Every structure is written in C-alpha cells, then in structure tokens.
Amino acid sequence: MSTIIEFIKKINHEVKKSCANTRLFPSVMIAQAILESNAGKSKLAMLHNNYFGIKSTKMWAGNSVHYLTTEYQNGIAIKIKQPFRSYPSMKDGFADRVKFLQVNKRYTVHGVFTSISPEEQVLAFLKAGYATDPNYAIKLVALIRKYDLKQFDL
C-alpha cells in the first residue's frame, strides 16, 4: 500500500462486514489496523494477514509466526520476539480479530461492546489491556479524526 488513504479504501468494506452486528465501531478497527500494521506495510500484515498484531497462544490452533515487537513495560519500550497468528486471507484475519475480542471477557467487562462512541471504545480497549503503549488511545483518536474514519460507522 502506498498511502494510508489507499489502505483505508482496501480494507473498509471488509472491516464494515466484520463489525456488523457486533457493536464494534469500524472507525476504531480501521484506526487500529492503520496503527498496528503501519497501514498494511508490516510483514505481519503483508505476509500473514494479521493487521492487528494478535498474538498466538497455546489455545490457538492455526498457524503462527514469530516476529520482534515493541512492548511497553513500566512505560519503557522494549523489543521482544513473540508468536503471532497467521491467516490465509484478510477476511479470515478480520473475522478472527472480532472473535478474539468476543471470547476474551476482559473486552466485555471493560465496556468495549457497550461504548457509545469511537472515543469511548478506544478508552475501553486501553482499560482492557489491548495495548501496552501508553499513548495508544491518543494515537487512535488522532487517526480517526485525521482520516474522518467515523464516516464508516454510519
């Protein structure tokens, strides 16, 4: 993908289908995909259709790959090698991302599925421990505003 606008055009229809009837805001999912995959330019996205940096665990029955990633511990960025889920298609990656959120109760407990705005949902993701970056919510809201992503919530 050469630009963020082209990336948004590439993924927005699949995101909207994945978010349908889930109470997830497409604007948030698009912003997360932009941020987590460097607008589709990361190897994890390009080679493995994992646009959200979803890690694999012992419970994951699908394919996995290992990559270095940045995690924040006590506010300090560190690089560590982690296993990530690998998907055969973008559609599979997006569908599993929604399923991942639905089966992990911490997202329900922290209000991801009851949020009334994208901004509230971004904060709920942060409270649920979705990301370790202390500026994660600020970055997502900035992307939502900069690229007018709320238009996909309609």
What is residue 87's predicted lDDT score, i.e. its pLDDT?
A: 97
Question: Is 92 an active-site residue?
Answer: no
Tokens 């939502």 label which residue? Answer: 144
Question: Is 148 an active-site residue?
Answer: no
What is residue 31's predicted lDDT score, i.e. its pLDDT?
A: 98
Mean pLDDT (10-residue bins), the chain, 154 residues: 87 97 98 96 97 91 90 85 96 96 96 97 94 90 97 94
Cα–Cα nearest to 120, from 137, 134, 108: 137
Return phi, psi of residue 97, to 5°: -60, -45
Pick the catalytic residue from 36, 96, 120, 148: 96
What is residue 1's predicted lDDT score, i.e. its pLDDT?
A: 41
Cα–Cα nearest to 100, from 148, 51, 43: 51
CB-CB contact of 72 with 133 (8 Å): yes
- DSSP alpha helix (H) spans, the chain: 4-19, 26-37, 43-48, 90-103, 105-109, 118-127, 136-146
The length of the chain is 154
Pick the catalytic residue from 6, 71, 148, 153: 71
66, containing H or E segment: strand 63-73
What is residue 2's predicted lDDT score, i.e. its pLDDT?
A: 60
The answer to whether the pTM exceeds 0.85 is yes
